[in-house]
Amino acid sequence: MAVLNRRRRRRQKQKSTLSRGLVDRQNPLEFMEPEELFMRFRFRAESILFIVSLVCEKLERRSNRSSPLPVLTQVLVALRFLATGSFYSLIADSYSIISTSSVFRSVRDVCSCLIEHLRHFVCMPTGQDADKIKKMFFQIAGFPNVLGCLDGTFIRIIAPSRNEVDYLNRKGFHSLNVQMICDANYKFSNCVVKWPGSVHDSRIFRDSKISVAFENGTYKGFLLGDSGYPCKSYLMTPFLTTSCRAEERYNRSHCRTRVLVEQSFGILKRRFSCLHSGLRTTPQNACKIITACVILHNIGIDRKDIINVDHDDIDTNNNVIVHVADEWTGSNVRKNLCQQFFS
C-alpha cells in the first residue's frame, strides 16, 4: 500500500511540474538568453533548430535502447566543441549526463551528417547569382568580372603518427593546408580540405577540380590570387614589379578586393575557435571537422547569424563585361585589364 501511495504522489508531482510549465534545464534553448546562446554555440535558436533538421534523419535512433542522446543534444554538444575547441572531457563535464565518449561520437556524427550537405551550401555561383557576385566585387575597388578570391590557410593539428614530416608547414608547426574560394558576401564557394601543410598553394590549386572547371570554361570570370599562384587567363595575380601607373592602380584594386578571403578566414576562425587553437585528432577527422565548419559558416551567413549582408544596394545597371580570347595567356589578360580599366 505504501508503495502505491509513493507512486501516486510521484505521478501527481510530475503532472504538477508539467502544468506549471517548468523549463528543461538540459535544453539551453529554453532558458538561455539569445546573446548567451549565440556566445556559447555561435548560433541563435532558430538556426540551431535548422541545423537539427538537417541531421535529424541520420542521427535519430529508432529505439531508446542504451539511452541514446536526443538529436538536439548531439548538435549542441558538437557546436560547443566547434565553438571552443575544448577537450571532450571538459565539454562532458558541462553536461552531467554525458560521457566523454558520447561527446566524441556526437562531434563525429554531426560533422559527418553535415558533410553530406556540402554541395548544397558550398558551391560556385552561376547564372544570375554569378552576375550579382561580380557586381558586388566590382563595387569594392573597381576590379571587373571577379567570381571569387582564392587563398590557402593553415589549420593546426597535432603531429600525426604517420608521414609526420609532410604535415610540417613552412611556419614550423603541423597543419593541413586548406584551399578556399570566397565570394563578396564572405561565403566560401569552394574548399579543398585534404592536403598536408607542407604542400604549396599552387600545387593544391593545380590538382583541384575547380582548376579543371575554370580551364574547361565551366565558370566565366576571374579568380584573384596572391603572387604564390601562377597568372592564368582566369586567375589574376598582382604584378611583382610595376612599370607604370596603370599597373600600380591594378595592384591596389587587386589587393583591396582579394583581402576579402583573408577576412573570411578571420570570421571563420573567430567563430569556430577549434580551427584557431588546433585540432587534437587525426588528419582524416580534422578534414571532416574543417569541412563541417565551412558549411556551418555559410549557414550562419545565409541566416544572418554572422553578418547582415544587404543585397538591395547593388546597381543592376552597372554591367561590366570582359572579353577574353581563348588563346590569351594570363599575362596578356592582365595587361588588357590594365589598359581597359586602370589606365
DSSP letter string, 97-140: T--HHHHHHHHHHHHHHHHTTHHHHS----HHHHHHHHHHHHHH
- pLDDT of 44: 93
Among 279, 266, 131, 284, which Cα is nearest to 196's? 284
- pLDDT of 281: 95
d(C-alpha 196, C-alpha 178), whole Å: 9
Half-sphere exposure of 240 (CA within 13 A, CB side): 6
Model confidence pLDDT, tens digit, residues 23-50: 444 678 888 888 999 999 999 999 999 9
Mean pLDDT along residues 120-128: 96
- pLDDT of 326: 42
Given a cut of 70, whether residue 224 has pLDDT beyond it is yes
- Looking at every residue in the chain, the average pLDDT score rounds to 87
Given a cut of 50, whether residue 304 has pLDDT beyond it is yes
List Cα–Cα distances, 154 to 181, 258, 320, in angstroms.
14, 18, 35
- pLDDT of 67: 65
Sheet hosting strand 146-156, strand order edge to edge: 188-196, 175-182, 146-156, 222-224, 235-236
Report the range of poorest mean pLDDT among 71-80, 191-200, 218-227, 309-318.
Answer: 309-318
Report the range of poorest mean pLDDT among 97-101, 126-130, 304-308.
Answer: 304-308
How big is the chain by its Cα radius of gyration, in Å?
A: 25
Report the range of poorest mean pLDDT among 129-138, 156-165, 328-337.
Answer: 328-337
- CB-count exposure of residue 304 (10 Å: 0-12, 13-18, 19+): exposed
Block residue for cell numbers 538529436? 71
List Cα–Cα distances, 220 to 124, 215, 253, 323, in angstroms.
11, 10, 20, 10
- Could you tell me what percent of the chain has a pLDDT over 90? 76
Given a cut of 70, whether residue 252 has pLDDT beyond it is yes
- pLDDT of 89: 92
